[in-house]
A and B are shown apart, each in its own frame.
Chain A
Amino acid sequence: MPISEILLNFFFYLFAATAVGGGAAVAFSRNIVRSAFALLAVLFSVAAMYAFARADFIVAAQILIYVGGILVLIIFAVMLTHKITDVKVSNESSPGLASACACVCLFVLLILTFVYAHPWERGAKPTPATMPAAEGRPPLAVDLSMTQGDGRTGAPAGATVLDGFARLHVATRAPLKGVSAARFRIQRYAPDASKKSGTWKEHRPDDPKKLLVKVADDGEEGRSALIDLERLPEGRYRWGVRFEDEAGETGWAEFGARGEGLEADFIAEKGLTKALGRAFMGPYLLAFEVVSVLLLAALVGAAYLARKEVKE
């Protein structure tokens, strides 16, 4: 595993641990003010997780809404609660069995919804592909991946690409002898009239030479090639790659192991907001709505605290 990946994993698990640890502190702290402040760690860690998915806008929205709005409100409410250090107004005073049942049921329901009821798109992981054996060379494993053009905007790489500009990246897992160039092959999905199915058609850019790129030697990592795609029309694309030696013949690494390609939606619209709107109201509508159960839980909790206050 390259050091960069170890670093990435280290920070990812660091934030994951902070999120879980903060959550535990929220649930088990005997002091309700400390519970409220522990929520800060949870919310920031979750924002960091969004940053790993390259969803800048969601990171900012998460912190702005949850930290700047909801958490401040919660802390205000908690601080104005009578006798804040009184153990009676902490989490441990809630009826154990009933709330445990409700929480477990809700949790299982959420997990089932997320895992089974939603067709998840492929994330930023490289798609493995194989290249058939050629003369004097065994079959090769190849990783295909895609970064968004500016390498920093929005959605996970390989899912939605904004602005019709993307960078295709291919790397072999073993050194490749005698290979001089890579030729990318791009197909565009053409839906039929009913839009329920369609066929993949070869996409030819204005200048076919653009698809042929020199291969860079990355040392231990094998060989890799990059190509920038500009101004592709809106639509769904997939792509494969072919390495060439001096004689011009090596073989294709075709569209992923399962015969699918590394697919990407190109949205020829500048900015992230419109794409986000489409994503929320389109493929992610169910997930988006299910998450709002969280807000309902927060409201119920606040009402519970307030009711207890009136009784005293």
Chain B
Amino acid sequence: MSALLLAEAGFWDNIIVGGDWWVALLGIFVVCFIIVNFIAVYAGVNTLLERKIAAHMQARVGPYQVGPHGSLQWLADALKLLVKEDVIPKDTDAFLFRLAPYVVFAGSFAAWVALPFTVDWSPAVMNVGILYILAVSSAVVIGILMAGWASGSKWALFGAMRSAAQIVSYEVPVGIVLLGMLLIYGTLDMQEISRAQETGGWFGTSPDWHGGIFSWGVFRHPPFTIMAFFIYYTAGLAETNRTPFDIPEAESELVAGYHTEYSGMRFSFFFLSEYANMFVVSAIATTFFLGGWLPPFGQLLGSTFPFNPFLEGLFWFMLKSFALVILMMWLRWTLPRYRVDQLMDLCWKRLTPLAFVTLFAIGVGEYSSTAGMALGAAATLAILALLVKEVFTAAPPAAMDSVKLPANPS
């Protein structure tokens, strides 16, 4: 219940102009306690899920020994990480080496308090929501650089430099794409952004229409908002350093990147941070493009939330976010890793110009819906033409038996 108190506007007045200061402190503690433990359990379950998904995609069974079908494997893993020896190698800068995991984790943990988990409830009410999330996430870069440098190992330093370069680069398309979407919503408040997707049609038409899924951000300026969604999700994937963008920790080149020298609990902080970041990226995509906590069928059941707005909102938000998290795992076991140059090429030569196109087109569409429709139709035709050309003129992939294999030496 203390957590719910936080949702009331003017909650901070309890602290600022006097009042129940202990309620305020207790509320802060309870909310942080819930979030930290949620991240820990969520990351644990996700490691199991990831291993199971990987196994089934490769026709294996995955972990099978601990618990029924290996379902308690994540608890065993956590226990192992907790009791493992905390090794600090000889050539490290010991102070920064110890500090770095906390900086990384704090960066991804702090972003959670601004996520719009359900109707009118976020752990912290703030009107600059998305700006705050993008800002505190930058602590992750600093922490990674700190870990890489303090490790005193060339693998770790290379991994950290790659990671920082990658995250800083991919923040550019992310920022531009989100800027375009902010033109539609006109607010930085994550709750307001979610609410703005309850009504409205494409290209700014029929603002009072309860269109369900068709009122969501992703269908507001087709095809540009759909492009924006794909650009955001791709760049977000790169910001979390996951396959196919995991060159900072590419095993074949760098051992394990910036956390090569870490072990035990300190290593697991990097791990928790990666999973926490995956959720934050998915939650932002959900809020900006997929209607946040809104159900997909508008008012077909009479009203938007016929039963309990708090629980229903939580259900829809979690469902959409977890779907995107699982999509990330699916992609990890589907796509091969990029090279460094391909990665930068994709960011600066493909995603960034496309992001500018979406920003421009959404701006035009918000200014005049007729011009927006014309642009949208032209872009759709162009995309279709490109697709047709691709399908009919591309060379067929070489069949396996035509590839010359080297003769077996034996």
Contact A4 B186 (CB under 8 A): no
Task: Tally chain B residues at the interface, Cβ within 8 Å.
Answer: 41
Interchain CA distance A76-B128 in the complex, whole Å: 29
Instruction: Indicate if the CB atoms of A56 and B142 lie closer than 8 Å.
Output: no
Q: Is B254 an interface residue (CB 8 A)?
A: no
Q: Is A7 an interface residue (CB 8 A)?
A: yes
Within 8 Å CB of B15, what residues of A?
4, 7-8
Query: Which A residue's beta carbon lies closest to that of B127?
Result: A153
Q: Cβ of B103: which chain A residues have Cβ within 8 Å of it? A: 40
Q: Number of A residues contacting the other chain (C-beta, 8 Å)?
A: 42
- Interface 9-mer from A144-152, A181-189, A283-291: A144-152
Closest residue of chain B to A11 (Cβ to Cβ) is B15
Q: Tell yes or no: B139 within 8 A of A by CB.
A: yes
- Report if A272 contacts B (CB, 8 A): yes
Q: Is the CB of A151 within 8 A of B12?
A: yes
Interface code A44-62, partner B: CB below 8 Å = 1, 0 otherwise? 1000000000001101111
Q: Mark B252-282, 1 if CB is under 8 A from A, else 0.
A: 0000000000000000000000000000000
Q: Does A166 contact B (CB under 8 A)?
A: no
- Which residue of the partner chain A has the closest CB to B11? A151
Instruction: Kindly name the residue among B10, B17, B146 whose own CB sees the greatest number of chain A CB atoms within 10 A.
Output: B17
Contacts of A153 in B (CB 8 A): 127
B359 in contact (CB, < 8 A): no
Majority secondary structure, B binding face: helix
Q: Judging by beta carbons under 8 Å apart, are B141 and A152 in contact?
A: no
State which of B10, B25, B128 has its C-beta within 8 Å of the C-beta of A56: B128
Q: Which of A33, A152, A154 has the most CB of B within 10 A?
A: A152
A203 to B46 CA separation, bound complex (whole angstroms): 60
Asked whether any CB of chain A lies closer than 8 Å to the CB of B136, the reply is yes
Using A145-B17, A150-B9, A271-B186 as known contacts, say yes or no to A60 and B142 having CB atoms under 8 A apart.
Answer: no
A75: B residues at CB distance < 8 A: 142, 145, 164
Give the shortest distance, in Å, between B8 (CB) and chain A (any CB).
10
Interface residue A309 (Cβ < 8 Å from any Cβ of B): no
Beta-carbon contact of B96 and A37 below 8 Å: yes
CB interface residues, B 303-356, toward A, < 8 Å:
none
Whether B128 and A57, one on each chain, are in contact in the complex, defined by CB atoms closer than 8 angstroms, is yes
Q: Which residues of B contact A2 (CB under 8 A)?
A: 18, 21
Contact between B141 and A60 (Cβ–Cβ < 8 Å)?
no
Q: Does A299 contact B (CB under 8 A)?
A: no
Q: Is B234 an interface residue (CB 8 A)?
A: no
Q: Which residue of B lies closest to A71 (CB)?
A: B142
Beyond the given A4-B18, A40-B103, A61-B135, please list 17 additional residue pairs across the A-B interface where CB-CB is below 8 A: A4-B14, A7-B15, A31-B93, A57-B128, A60-B134, A63-B135, A67-B135, A72-B138, A72-B168, A124-B16, A145-B17, A150-B10, A151-B12, A152-B126, A152-B127, A154-B127, A169-B17
A23 → B minimal CB distance (Å): 17
Per-position 1/0 for B79-99, Cβ under 8 A of A: 000000000000001001000
- B187 close to A (CB within 8 Å): yes
Are B171 and A68 interface neighbours, CB within 8 A? yes
Is the CB–CB distance between B186 and A63 below 8 Å? Answer: no
The 8 A CB mask of B131-156 against A (1 = contact, 0 = none) is 11011111101100110010000000
B9 nearest in chain A by CB position:
A150
Interface pair A7/B138, CB less than 8 Å apart: no
